Amino acid sequence: MIDWSQCPAVERIPEKVSGAWLFKNTRVPVKALFENLEGGATVNEFLDWFPGVERAQVEAVLEHAQRSLEAA
């Protein structure tokens, strides 16, 4: 399990989107990135589909996930 609390690009607010981990200052769940990538989308497509998310946020999430998996 990835500890998203250590990733500065995301936030969790209990009253917002049922408390899911979201890209900071958006209503876009982090899991939407992984679901879209698994479905064959590119990062550029994801950014087009979710205009509130910034490229730097996506990069930070992917880097955090990679570091977490390497440490596991």
Segment 18-62, tens digit of pLDDT: 999 999 999 999 999 999 999 999 999 999 999 999 999 999 999
Helices (H), 11-54: 30-38, 43-49
pLDDT of residue 71: 81
Q: Is the pTM of this model over 0.85?
A: yes
Domain ranges for the chain, please list them.
4-71
DSSP helix/strand/coil, 18? helix
CATH of region 4-71, choose from 3.40.50.720, 3.50.50.60, 1.10.3720.10, 1.10.10.10: 1.10.10.10
pLDDT of residue 1: 80
DSSP helix/strand/coil, 41? coil
- DSSP-derived pairing of the beta strands 10-12 and 21-23: antiparallel
